[in-house]
Amino acid sequence: VILHLNYSSGSQSGPLEKSCNYYADQGIPFPKAVLKDDDKHLKECYLFEDAENPAAPILLFFPQVNDTFRYYKAPGVKRSESEMKYGEVDISSNSTPYATYSMTFTEEEYDQLIELSEYNVLNNQHLILQALYRAVERKKNP
């Protein structure tokens, strides 16, 4: 099982696409992972698997998105009215403080980015557990 946490600015699918192409060129088993940049609403996590090739790893891809974090401070815990502004983490606009070329963050920007990333992983633990379960089943039943 591979967890791919994408922290690139710009294209969220570009690094994933490059990885897939590299593995294909090298003949390394890897699931086909296709995302569309024009998808206006990326999910917090994608599970990719090549069911035809048990040698290929199961891939969990976490694009850097602020989807439900803006409304929840923890999975299942809604933000209060006073906490809503903290959930507005700008990670994709032209004025984002998280652009690749930005080398410093304020303490609040840093904390928001860490909390967003942690939230996205915790909010998708069901997919992580599903991937681990599938990997164990593959080993049991080759």
pLDDT single digits (tens) 56-89: 999 999 999 999 999 999 999 999 999 999 999 9
99 pLDDT tier (thresholds 50, 70, 90)? confident
Q: Please choose, from the candidates 58, 47, 23, the residue with its C-alpha nearest in 3D space to the C-alpha of residue 136.
A: 58
Question: Average pLDDT, stretch 125-131?
Answer: 97
Q: DSSP state, 5?
A: E
**Could you tell me whether strands 2-5 and 59-62 are parallel, antiparallel, or unpaired per DSSP bridges?**
parallel
Question: How far is Cα of residue 37 from the mean position of the Cα atoms in its chain?
Answer: 14
Tell me: pLDDT of 106 over 80: yes
- Distance from C-alpha of 120 to C-alpha of 2, rounded to nearest angstrom: 16
125 pLDDT tier (thresholds 50, 70, 90)? very high
Tell me: pLDDT of 91 over 90: no
102 pLDDT tier (thresholds 50, 70, 90)? confident
Question: Phi and psi of 139, rounded to 5°?
Answer: -70, -35
Q: Above pLDDT 70, what percent of the chain?
A: 96
| Tally of domains in the chain | 1
pTM of the model: 0.88
Q: Which residue range forms the structural domain that includes residue 36?
A: 2-140
Contact between 62 and 3 (Cβ < 8 Å): yes
36 pLDDT tier (thresholds 50, 70, 90)? low
42 pLDDT tier (thresholds 50, 70, 90)? confident
